[in-house]
Structure 1
Amino acid sequence: MTRHSPNHPLLAEALKLFFPVAAAHAVLLPLIWVTVLAFDLPFARQVPAGQWHAHEMIFGTYGAALAGFLGSAMPEWTDTKPRRGRALLLLLALWLPGRLIGFLGADALIVPATLTDLAFLSLLLVYVTGPLIERRTTRHGSFAVWIVLFALLELSIRAAWLLGETALSGRLLQAALAVFLVFLSLAIARINVVVVNHALDPSGETTPYRPHPGRQNLTAGLVGLQLVAALVAPDSAAPAWLALAAAAAFFDRLAEWFIGRAVLRLEVLALAAANAFGGLGFLVLGLAGLGAPLAPATGLHLLSVGALGLAVMAVFVIAGLRHSGRDLVLPPAAKLALVLMAAAAAMRVLPELGIGESLLGLHHALAAGLWSASFATWLVGFWPILNDPRRDEGGCG
């Protein structure tokens, strides 16, 4: 694949192309799903429309965000040249067919969608492992392992759909969400060091913040254990207890943000809030699994909209600025996008938890509107920033 300098700034590195693509997908998909299609899809027959929707949010929106993040972060971490130009366009071309098929819920086209999605993840794996091989290092190699697992889950979900095993595919979709929560945990552990040190000393002359080594991988490990238990023993109490353990790890990790007044900077607070949503999501899942009058779907939306949505938006803001030659000073669009995302998460789950029950039913459309508005605000505000050819080699992690 070519690594020559591209003619357009958006093709200079992965995040400049895939973050806007992911944002555009995120703007359209939930809003159309809730307000236009009324929770249905025109060509979904055997596969439940809700599973198509969940798949496209995970493998579509978050899949593109993952490609942008790792495609830029791995070269940065290894001090190698990023993939550019046609190499990125090829990756996008492999991502797009599955999204078009998923948008329609076309059961008849599951096989070609599977092939292109697996090709997309395989090429992403090549792009991620290439710098590791070039530097002959295994550091950050865990991301490659999780991409392989993500690809295996994609294959398994599609196979379950073809076989009509929708109960199994539902569990596999939750496992795919858990894999993204592992990515979230690993990524925040790296990004938060840069963000908090900048908040404490914007001059960059000192690095007063050091993360607790015991907390860096604990949440990822417990989420992984809960993922395995939910797959192999879904009817036992083990997944519920492990969900509570994962929740405790997320809440314990909030101690990383005990940094005084600097925590009130929105970029710092957003990462902390994403972590808190992760803890709340696993808490609800654990309590629901042990018989509490809570819906597991509420816990899943705390994780997918709250934890992942806010974390992805924070990464879009932080990396978008740092990789475009800007200081980490949030413009109004960035602040508004983060606030809207937090509001979307709150709107999606609070009525189901007994707060604002009068909005039940309407809360789906309101949350979808806030979610779409968040990504649209970021896209409009950061489009000129990402199109600026300046680049800060310091990066974000």
Structure 2
Amino acid sequence: MDWEFTKRQDELIRLRRDFHAHPELSFQEDRTARIVSDLMEKKGFKVTRKVGQTGVVAVLEGGQPGNTVMWRADMDALPLQEDHSKFEFHSETDGVMHACGHDGHTAIALTVADILAERKNDLPGRVVFAFQPAEEIGSGAKAMLNDGLYAPNGPIGGKPDYALGLHLGAFSPTGTVTLKPGPLMAAADAFKFVVRGVGGHASMPQLSVDPIMVGSQLVVALQTLISREIDTMNPAVLSFGTFQAGTKSNIIPVEAILTGSLRTLDPKLRSYLIERMEAMGRDLGKLFRAEISFKLMEHAPAVINPDDLTSFAQKSAASVIGSEAVLDRPAIMGSEDMSEFMVDVPGCFMFVGAQRSDGPTPHHSPLFAIDEKSLEIGVKVTTRTLIDFLQK
């Protein structure tokens, strides 16, 4: 496989840097989708555009019997201003940046597609590449599914046998692949509380019901769910991200709006916490003479790798980089809507180490950067894994 990669190495880097220089926000990936569609058609794939708004699905029919295997690559960027001081190439779009490696994911998938297209006649089964929009807002996978991705008359012609994917991880050493059986990434629920009180003058709070005070009590009270109501060995994270209320310093407002995120690994714990959040909001409202409503806004299930597929994928990766470089790791509380593709189809998800020699950089940071050597590992491991699953 080395020679197949070597002759494509320069193009891989060029593609990744081009996507990095031209990042696009969720459901706005028009340029990226156009490049992907054009390249995949040139490689001989059957391409369906605008699946889930800006998503692209490309199918290659192999020349031998085998499975239908889908590889997912996300395309969107983040609303961040990149720090331009580190590299000669950087985002050319103000306020938008590839700060989570999706530029690399797309470039890896395109390179693997080129390798497999060259082997088409000997390739078992059908390989599907799903270039997904809007992972960063947790909506892209669901949009593609709602647009008929798995439908019998959809772009694949039904459900694939397996759904696979990877994520570059700047927190893991370059040259490694990390995956584990069971929960790998948390379920994510975005939620909103609306606290409705009685407005008035700040000098006469006794005539008002202050939604800021009530909302503050709510923030503190909900943390007791994590610290006092759940097993410490079954992790969950409940964080508030926004608290909006008021227009002037001497006015007690009528309403406060709070939004946040709940992360869980255990579906039963998730259900319990959601029930308790709603109940605590309702009861606190009564206690403080306010009305508190609760709403779930977005949900992505946990990424859960089946034991048998994880073992199979670990062997595929080990055949490329050696078993000592295939690592296990605890689950993380970050989320991935790749999980949506794995609800009704067996799947597996992995991390490819991309940590730079000067140390890790945090994802979703203006300083985020990957070691481009990780792209080679991504291409080789993806190619091997796909071929193995096609003939599994």
Query: TM over 0.5: same fold?
Result: no
TM-score interval (norm. to shorter): under 0.3
- More helix, by proportion: 1
Bigger Rg over Cα: 2
| TM-score, reference length from structure 2 | 0.26
| TM-score, reference length from structure 1 | 0.26
